[in-house]
Amino acid sequence: MTAGLQALLDDLARYLVQQQAAGSTFIWREPESSSAAAPAPAAAPTPAPAPSPAAPPPRQTPGTKQERELLFQRECAGFVRDSLALIARTRAHAAEPTGSAQSEMFGSAPAVALPPPPPVYETVAEKTAALEAIAAEARACTRCPLHAGRTNAVPGAGNPGAGLVLIGEAPGQEEDRQGLPFVGRSGQLLTDILRAIGFTRDEVFICNILKCRPPGNRDPERQEVTACEPYLRRQLAVIRPRLVLCLGRVAAHTLLGTSAPLGALRRTIHFYAGVPVMATFHPASLLRNPGQKRDTWDDVRKVRALYDALAAIDA
């Protein structure tokens, strides 16, 4: 077995364990009793009724704020450890020569011409100019019908050299009016959330999957995402962030191409265009459902812990 194939299998095993921890039920385990099959008697007596299976023990809930915090710290440390291992393997796979595993497993393959890699922007000035060029294209874009109803396109705003990028689904009414992402009440709440984990809006980059507002703030449609997603990919290629945070179910589903519940997506790491991705609730959802704030607080603290760990590795 090649080293590349073994690493791929290791990643798959880690992913399945993470999904099981997130509440997925597709991991099948053989019952212990199946290891020894009992022989079938010729005339089996009527079996006695089987005892009812014991109910699973209730999930332990910490009784005090201090106990809950200790439980979260252990959970957060495990999340960061597992995420770093998966990110390291993903980076190692990306660095391997393209097609080497295929050649070893299936014989030599014909050479395929690969597109040239995107340019690498090193300085803040270079990144600023590149992002502004993308923004100018987005403001003039007519690739989908949304351009006809916009007041302003909303390409994104923030630090061109940001290590953290936050991505929502689409601009709302106030964003369309001002041409800026996450303004109004939900934007103020997002600012407060960032401040609570030690970030300012000037340190991060904030954008949406769609650059124009859908009518009535409806969910993005596939045609619109297909037309607008290249802008987002180019923005991430310029910024090269350490981490992306999806804000809300629609953003996570659209960006990651999944329909998994947000509760499951929040518990593990994902990847988009090679960048690690996490997910949490949208600030507008927190305004409607204050009960989600505690889970969001835990999510963003994990974001901060993983971000700091990645920054230490990169340094």
The string of DSSP codes covering the chain is: --HHHHHHHHHHHHHHHHHHHTT--------GGGGSPPPPPTTPPPPPPPPPPPPPPPPP--SSHHHHHHHHHHHHHHHHHHHHHHHHHHHHHHHSPTTHHHHHHH------PPPPPPPPP-SHHHHHHHHHHHHHHHHT--SSGGGGG-SS----EE-TT-SEEEEES---HHHHHHT-SS-SHHHHHHHHHHHHTT--TTTSEEEES-SSPPGGGPPPPHHHHHHHHHHHHHHHHHH--SEEEEESHHHHHHHHT----HHHHTTS-EEETTEEEEEE--HHHHHH-GGGHHHHHHHHHHHHHHHHHHHHHH-
Q: What is the pLDDT of residues 68-123, one digit of tens each?
A: 899 999 999 999 999 999 999 998 888 776 544 443 444 554 555 656 667 888 89
DSSP states along 105-144? HH------PPPPPPPPP-SHHHHHHHHHHHHHHHHT--SS
- Quickly state the pLDDT bin for 167 (edges 50, 70, 90): very high
CA–CA gap between residue 142 and residue 145 (Å, rounded): 7
Q: List the domains of the chain with CATH numbers.
A: 124-314 (3.40.470.10)
Whether residue 60 is predicted with pLDDT greater than 70 in this model: the reply is no
pLDDT of the residue at 75: 95
- Quickly state the pLDDT bin for 283 (edges 50, 70, 90): very high
CA–CA gap between residue 165 and residue 235 (Å, rounded): 10
Contact 231/155 with Cβ under 8 angstroms? yes
Q: Whole-number mean pLDDT of the chain?
A: 84
pLDDT of the residue at 299: 97
pLDDT of the residue at 44: 52
Q: What is the pLDDT of residues 200-221, one digit of tens each?
A: 999 999 999 999 999 998 999 9
Q: What is the pTM of this model?
A: 0.76
- Pick 111 or 313 by higher pLDDT: 313
Specify which residues 278 forms β-bridges with.
245
Whether residue 2 is predicted with pLDDT greater than 50 in this model: the reply is yes
Tokens at 241, concatenated? 């962030």
Q: Which residue has the tokens 């099948």?
A: 28
pLDDT of the residue at 94: 80
Who's near 176: CB < 8 A, 6+ residues apart? 150, 151, 152, 154, 212, 213
Whether residue 149 is predicted with pLDDT greater than 80 in this model: the reply is yes
pLDDT, mean of residues 10-34:
52
pLDDT of the residue at 15: 59
Who's near 91: CB < 8 A, 6+ residues apart? none
pLDDT, mean of residues 167-179:
96
